[in-house]
Amino acid sequence: SLLPVYLTDARAVTKYDPVNAPDGALQLSVAENQMLEDVLVPALRKFSTSDNNNNNNNNKIEGLFEADQIYYQQTHGREGLRQAMAGYLGRILKLSPDQSLDLEGMVLGAGCNAVLENLCFCLTEPGNAVLLPTPYYAAFEFDLGARAGLNIVAVNTMEFNGTNFTADGGRTVPQSCYYPNAAALNAAYDKAKAAGSEPKILLLSHPNNPLGICYPTSVVEECINWAREKKVHLISDEIYAGSVYRKTNPLTGEDTFRSALTLAANGSKTTSKAGLGLGPYVHIVYALSKDFALSGLRVGVAYSENEAIRLPFQKLNDLCQISSQTQQTVEQMLSAKCDSGLWSTDEFLPENNDRIRQRSDRALLCMDECDIPYLFGDSGLFLWMDLTEFLPPSDDGGGIEESEESKDVRERILYLELMKEFGLLFTPGRSMRNELPGFFRFVFTAASDEEFDLGLERIKKYVKAKRTG
């Protein structure tokens, strides 16, 4: 079966329903933002019917169909959409006024999975390796392995960040321990080579899933430099770039999120006139699935300035093009104006980030009240919790020498206990190849207000039961 164990487990349990299954499990393990229907649905209806050029104020056009939409489109996406998306990305990735994306380097396809897979087809051969810092989005294993045939080689970071942590001891892992550095990357690189799998890609999730944090500028820069030196392709998956709900570091006053594009810009001697001077080794992928909660629209974006793959990458998109009508709707959405500027970045995203932050604040308060350690999140839809306190004791004594299997077994016991006895479904860290057992991702946006409140109550109940029990 292609389904990870934890998902099979999750399917076996009844889900919460306020009327029919009040004791059912709260599904808090799928990275979706369910808080925005009241804003999105009316907006999308408007964008699907509004006039193209906003110059037809009096006569409302019934539907949004231009004649050219019904025919074959440009393979890599309608030009109008690529322009609108380039403008949008320029704003959320904070390109400077003199920087602009090369429209011909942009490909719009049916979801982040589709464009990422095609990027891999262009950059690799089956059997090559993709280096991925742990923990990582579990479905990458399917996305990169299913047809592209790539091996994922985990970049473990903890031993290269100065300290070793054990599953007990009451300390929690500081976020710096999750940062990939040259030493960690080299170790993974060598491991891939030793296994006969040529390392071709370094895939960063930035802002990071599942940690809910942005890598600091220095970390991203180190990755870019390492990748260019080793001639490994850095793909920065910035799918949560619009969900950075804590934009400034309270201590340093700096931006929490700096896109790999801005940090890699002008870093390569290149003759291309358009674009950021990224050279051939830095690429990003993005989608509307998270920031706009529009996973159902299947709108993914890839951006690369690698000239060698440009044509094949565009051509491969033939097999996963976005419906023209959807492209048009999205173009409307990204260009739509509002009082304060542009609806997407000046009205919608701020409101979205506000709601995420409010949930985050309450979730963190709950963590503090329950004395559960966590990573102080600034982005994404989730919270990385340390529940190692509640892991069953290990058979072989735990500690650094604990076997991978033992870690999996212990965490699964905890996972099932949370799910079956306390009605809480979190994403287990080991399913995301976390080095240590007992860490869980709490997607606090994947619930109605009522479900979220109930979730916090159940967490408190759990903690109380475990400590007094």
Partner 1 sequence: YNDLRGVEYVREAVARFISRKFIQSIPGEVDEAKGKVGGNGEEKTMLVAKAEQIILSCGAASVINMLSYTLAEENDVVLIPAPYYAAFDFDTSMIAKLSTYPVHMNDPTVGPQPSELEAVYQKLTSQGRRVRILLLTNPNNPLGTIYPDSVIRNCVNWSRSKGMQTIVDEIYALSVHDKNNNKFHSVSKILNNKLGNDVHLVWALSKDFGSSGFRVGVLYTQNETVISAAGNINLFSGVSHPMQAITAELLSDDDFVDSFLDESNALLKASLKIVTDNLEKMGIPFVKAEAGIFIYCDFSSLLPEDSFEGEEKFSNIIFQYARVVMTPGSSQKENRPGFFRICYAFVTPEVLKVAMSRLQILAKLLKEHGWENVKSNIDKDMILKCSK
- Per CB under 8 A, residues contacting partner 1 are 2, 30, 32, 44, 48, 68-73, 110-111, 113-114, 117, 121, 142-143, 146-147, 295-299, 316, 318-326, 329
d(CA 178, CA 170): 18
97-131 b/e (C-beta count within 10 Å ≥ 16 → b): eebebbbbbbbbbbbbbbbbbbbbbbbbeeebbbb
Q: What is the spatial distance between Cα 284 and Cα 409, in angstroms, rounded to a whole number? A: 36
Please state, in angstroms and as integers, the Cα–Cα distance from residue 30 to each residue in 210, 258, 443, 447, following that order: 11, 26, 7, 10
Please say which residue, 60 or 71, places its beta carbon nearer to partner 1: 71
Q: How far is the CB of 32 from partner 1 (least distance, A)?
A: 7
The DSSP line for 311-343 is HHHHHHGGGGPPPHHHHHHHHHHHH-EETTEEI
CA distance 185 to 171: 26
Strand pairing category for 424-425 and 26-27:
parallel
Q: Which is nearer to partner 1, 2 or 19 (CB)?
A: 2
Q: How far is the CB of 110 from partner 1 (least distance, A)?
A: 5
User: DSSP class of residue 305?
Assistant: -
316-322-325 Cα angle (round to 5)? 150
Nearest approach, Cβ of residue 44 and partner 1 (Å): 8
Q: At what angle do helices 324-335 and 79-92 cross, to 10 degrees?
A: 40
* Min CB(407)–partner 1 separation in Å: 28
Q: Which is nearer to partner 1, 92 or 322 (CB)?
A: 322
* Dist CA 300 CA 317 (whole Å): 11
Of 39 and 44, nearer to partner 1 (C-beta) is 44
Gap between the Cα atoms of 199 and 227, Å rounded = 11
Shortest spacing between CB 251 and partner 1, in angstroms: 37
Residue 115 or 185: which CB sits closer to partner 1? 115
CB of 445 to partner 1, least distance (A): 14
User: Shortest approach of partner 1 to residue 237 CB, angstroms?
Assistant: 16
Helix crossing, 217-230 with 182-194: angle to 10°? Answer: 40
In the structure encoding, which two tokens stand for residue 52, read together? 């193209």
Identify any residues that bridge with 132 across adjacent strands, giving them in sequence order: 154
Give 70 or 465: the residue with its C-beta nearer to partner 1: 70
**Complex with partner 1: residue 78 or 206, whichever CB lies closer:** 78
441: DSSP letter: E
Q: Based on CB atoms, which residue is closest to partner 1, 64 or 154?
A: 64
Q: How far is the CB of 398 from partner 1 (least distance, A)?
A: 37
The answer to whether 356 and 67 have CB atoms below 8 angstroms apart is no
CB of 125 to partner 1, least distance (A): 12
CB-wise, 436 or 446, nearer to partner 1? 446
